[in-house]
Amino acid sequence: MEWLERNVPKLVLAPSFVAILIFVYGFIAWTAWVSLTRSKLMPRYELDGFGQYTRLFASPRWDVAMNNLYIFGALFIIISMLIGLMLAIFLDQKIRAEGVLRTIYLYPMALSLIVTGTAWKWILNPGLGIQEMVRGWGFESFAFDWLIRPEMAIYTIVIAAVWQASGFVMALFLAGLRSVDTEIIRAAQVDGIPTRRIYSAIIIPTMAPIFLSAFIVLAHLAIKAFDLVIALTNGGPGYATDLPATYMYAMAFSRGDLGQAAASAMIMMMVIFAIVVPYLYSELRPRRDQ
Amino acid sequence: MTSNTTILRWGLYGILILFALFYLLPLFVMLTTSLKSLEEIRTGSLLALPRGLTFQPWIEAWSSACAGTQCEGLRPFFWNSVLMAVPAVMISTIVGALNGYVFAQWRFPGANLFFAAILFGCFIPFQVVLMPMARMLGLMGLAGTIPGLIFVHVIYGIGFTTLFFRNYYVTIPQELVRAAKVDGAGFFRIFWSIFLPISLPIITVSVIWQFTQIWNDFLFGVSFSGPGSQPVTVALNNIVNSTTGVKAYNVDMAAAIIAALPTLLVYVVAGKYFIRGLTAGSVKG
């Protein structure tokens, strides 16, 4: 009885412990193992070295997916950060109706990416969307058909993703701006330092951790991007807008190539960990002020 | 000087409103398109208001639009999502609350390592567990069922809920627990009468976060559901990509709004908590 009393906390954690051990770490191990075998339609468990990875890196489709990830990831992160920072600074100028504007900027984050993709697919479709509308205004030769052009379609995904996430970055930055010590700002104002300098020399540098957080969250969203691509372009035209996540899904569930699916999933995980692990490490390190 | 700042303020408001319009545009287009007839969509302009209001697309989207070969609208899938989300949200929140309580107030050797392991699990790309989970659900006899989806969402949701509760409870002084223990209160008694009563804000955050995540999920839904258990996001995608008959853009848009309504409603009603959930994982201290 006393033993039970003493061990209640551990017993409470035990189911989660077992679940995490099996369904996170065990499953990662399974995927890692399969990525080192010759599994095709069914998993095979005889190790076969790095053949799957060699095949993966030689695959033109994976090449497209990784290239798209670089383009999409870089543009998505940079544009979202710029818009988010700008909106946060502007909203921080004692704006009337700040609450309403904030609510409007952030609502896309509550939507499913499938909904977002469906909406933008309609807006961007050349037949009846923006292109047709502008042509209707008299600009007969106006063209905005990125959605169906293989070399441009990836940018439509950037547009929709920025629309979805930039308001969230705004919220992060606004919280950061508001947490800067007002004493310092007031002192600077008393000294007659112009607002622009106050932002560039005092406020923004103190927000470095928030830039890092925003970067981590956006990078994480970019690497996992799946729903939006499926809804907006379904990876097309052809496989022009494939991303690692859609490549992995295609291999696992429609091509029946488990080895390739496992290898691509492992690469995705390594990319994420390369970004997240240093961050988590710095977050978890015991701090002096705690 | 004054006129200069006035112009600057006008510019500021101008830009802020311009962006507000950018964020509202897709919602506006979805709504107006869903209320137009196909004829009007073909002849009219994208941004034009509907001339003759029609609610037919909404009725079709709800009860007769075709998702693949099944032509029952979104309705059955909407209920699938409800049946999936409600238990999954409840279970993952309860488990998260108890876990967070232990991590914050009942530390034991190795607890930190385990917490780090849980935190780590929050960041994995789900692609890496997709295939073994598909096989595991098969072995458990849960493949293609709603309980299977509930199971998956609980497993991969407890990382975040644990994090929420742990970070909330860690601010409560340990002396409180110590004093209660001296008074003879046990683990659950202390949780029930000290921690639970102050937990409403974080429970709200956790419930809203989990509900939004699970309702909006597509990856697990498309990977693990069967014909009878597809969640609303999967059905929406199927309706939009359905190739049978004429492309009914108005029905697609009505369906998209229907699928978005629950989370949108939650956002409007409890936006403050939604934002707290979003930022809880990323801004600390």
- Chain B contacts of A119, Cβ < 8 Å? 26-27, 29-30, 253, 256
Q: What is the mean pLDDT of residues B222-251?
A: 88
Specify the amino acid at residue A200.
Answer: S
A104-156 tens-digit pLDDT: 999 999 999 999 999 999 999 888 888 888 888 888 888 888 888 888 999 99
Say if residue B193 is exposed, middle or buried (CB neighbours under 10 Å; 0-12, 13-18, 19+).
Answer: exposed
Q: What domain range includes position A230? A: 65-283
Q: Which of A60-64, A90-94, A204-208, B190-194 has the lowest mean pLDDT?
A: A204-208
Does any domain span residue A127?
Answer: yes
Q: Are A64 and A236 a contacting pair, CB within 8 Å?
A: no
Closest C-alpha among B131, B88, B139, B114 to residue A18? B114
- Chain A contacts of B133, Cβ < 8 Å? 23, 27
Q: Are B60 and B248 a contacting pair, CB within 8 Å?
A: yes
Query: Which of A72-86, A182-196, B30-44, B58-72 has the highest average model confidence (pLDDT)?
Result: A72-86
ipTM of the complex: 0.91
A151 CA: distance to closest CA in chain B (Å): 22
Kindly tell me if the per-residue pLDDT of B111 is higher than 70. Answer: yes
B19-76 tens-digit pLDDT: 999 999 999 999 999 998 888 888 888 888 888 888 899 998 999 888 877 888 899 9
From the list B45, B99, B257, the residue facing A13 with the nearest CB is B99
Residue B137: CB atoms within 10 Å:
20
B91-104 tens-digit pLDDT: 999 999 999 999 99
Residue identified by tokens 């095709």 is: A40
Q: Does the distance separating the beta carbons of B12 and A9 come in below 8 Å?
A: no
Choice between A286 and B267, residue whose per-residue pLDDT is larger:
B267
Q: According to the model, what pLDDT value does residue A289 have?
A: 45
Any CB–CB contact under 8 A between A62 and chain B?
A: no
Supply the CATH number for residue A140's domain.
1.10.3720.10
Report the C-alpha gap between A254 and B134 in whole angstroms.
Answer: 14
Report the C-alpha gap between B67 and B47 in whole angstroms.
Answer: 27
Closest residue of A to B136, CA-based? A23
Kindly tell me if the per-residue pLDDT of A288 is higher than 60. Answer: no
Any CB–CB contact under 8 A between A265 and chain B?
A: yes
Q: How many domains does chain A have?
A: 1
Chain B from 54 to 93: CB within 8 A of any A CB: none
Q: Does the distance separating the beta carbons of B47 and A114 come in below 8 Å?
A: no
Kindly tell me if the per-residue pLDDT of A286 is higher than 70. Answer: no
**Buried/exposed B9-21: b ≥16 CB within 10 Å, e otherwise:** eeeebeebeebbe
Any CB–CB contact under 8 A between A275 and chain B?
A: no
Q: Does the distance separating the beta carbons of B102 and A12 come in below 8 Å?
A: yes
Per-residue pLDDT band for B228 (boundaries 50, 70, 90) equals: confident
Q: According to the model, what pLDDT value does residue B214 have?
A: 96
In the structure encoding, which two tokens stand for residue A100, read together?
Answer: 């309403």
The listed CATH number (3.60.15.10, 1.20.1090.10, 1.10.3720.10, 3.40.50.10490) that belongs to domain B75-280: 1.10.3720.10
Report the C-alpha gap between B18 and A71 in whole angstroms.
Answer: 26
Does any domain span residue A55?
Answer: no
Choice between A206 and B88, residue whose per-residue pLDDT is larger:
B88
- Chain B contacts of A129, Cβ < 8 Å? 46
Q: What is the mean pLDDT of residues A64-72?
A: 95
The residues facing A178 across adjacent strands are: none
Give A74-88 as a 3 state SS string: HHHHHHHHHHHHHHH
Q: What percentage of chain A has pLDDT greater than the value 70?
A: 97
pTM of the model as a whole: 0.91
| DSSP type of residue A37 | B
B74, B215, A219, A81 alpha-carbon torsion, rounded to 10°? 90
Q: According to the model, what pLDDT value does residue B282 have?
A: 52
Q: Are B169 and B206 a contacting pair, CB within 8 Å?
A: no
Question: How much is the mean pLDDT over chain B?
Answer: 90
Q: What is the mean pLDDT of residues A92-99?
A: 88
Does any domain span residue A271?
Answer: yes
Q: Does the distance separating the beta carbons of A217 and B282 come in below 8 Å?
A: yes
**Please, what is the Cα angle at B187 between B185 and B189, to 5 degrees?**
55
Kindly tell me if the per-residue pLDDT of B1 is higher than 80. Answer: no
Does residue B144 sit in helix, strand or coil?
Answer: strand
Kindly tell me if the per-residue pLDDT of B136 is higher than 60. Answer: yes
Q: Does the distance separating the beta carbons of A27 and B128 come in below 8 Å?
A: yes
Cis status, amide bond into A237, omega within 30 of 0: yes
Q: In chain A, what are the helix, strand and coil shares in percent, each to the nearest 5? A: 75, 0, 25
Any CB–CB contact under 8 A between A161 and chain B?
A: no
Say if residue A275 is exposed, middle or buried (CB neighbours under 10 Å; 0-12, 13-18, 19+).
Answer: middle
Residue identified by tokens 């190539």 is: A257
Q: How far is CA A115 from the centre of its chain?
A: 17
Q: Are A91 and A101 a contacting pair, CB within 8 Å?
A: yes
Q: According to the model, what pLDDT value does residue B247 have?
A: 81
Q: Are B115 and B107 a contacting pair, CB within 8 Å?
A: no
Q: According to the model, what pLDDT value does residue A131 have?
A: 87
Q: Are B88 and B80 a contacting pair, CB within 8 Å?
A: no
Report the C-alpha gap between B194 and B188 in whole angstroms.
Answer: 10
Report the C-alpha gap between A94 and A88 in whole angstroms.
Answer: 11
In the structure encoding, which two tokens stand for residue B264, read together?
Answer: 């949108």
| DSSP type of residue A22 | I
Q: Are B232 and B80 a contacting pair, CB within 8 Å?
A: yes
Q: According to the model, what pLDDT value does residue A284 have?
A: 66
Any CB–CB contact under 8 A between B249 and chain A?
A: yes
Any CB–CB contact under 8 A between B173 and chain A?
A: no
Residues 6+ apart with CB under 8 A from A24: B117, B120, B121, B124, B129
Any CB–CB contact under 8 A between B144 and chain A?
A: no
Q: What is the mean pLDDT of residues A67-71?
A: 95
Q: Indicate the domain borders of chain B.
A: 2-54, 75-280
- Chain A contacts of B156, Cβ < 8 Å? 23
Kindly tell me if the per-residue pLDDT of A19 is higher than 90. Answer: yes
Q: According to the model, what pLDDT value does residue B284 have?
A: 40
Q: Does the distance separating the beta carbons of B123 and A9 come in below 8 Å?
A: no
Does any domain span residue A35?
Answer: no
Query: What is the C-alpha end-to-end distance of chain B, expressed in Å?
Result: 41
Does any domain span residue A5?
Answer: no
Q: Does the distance separating the beta carbons of B125 and A265 come in below 8 Å?
A: yes
Q: According to the model, what pLDDT value does residue A28 have?
A: 96
Helices H, strands E: what count in chain B? 14, 0
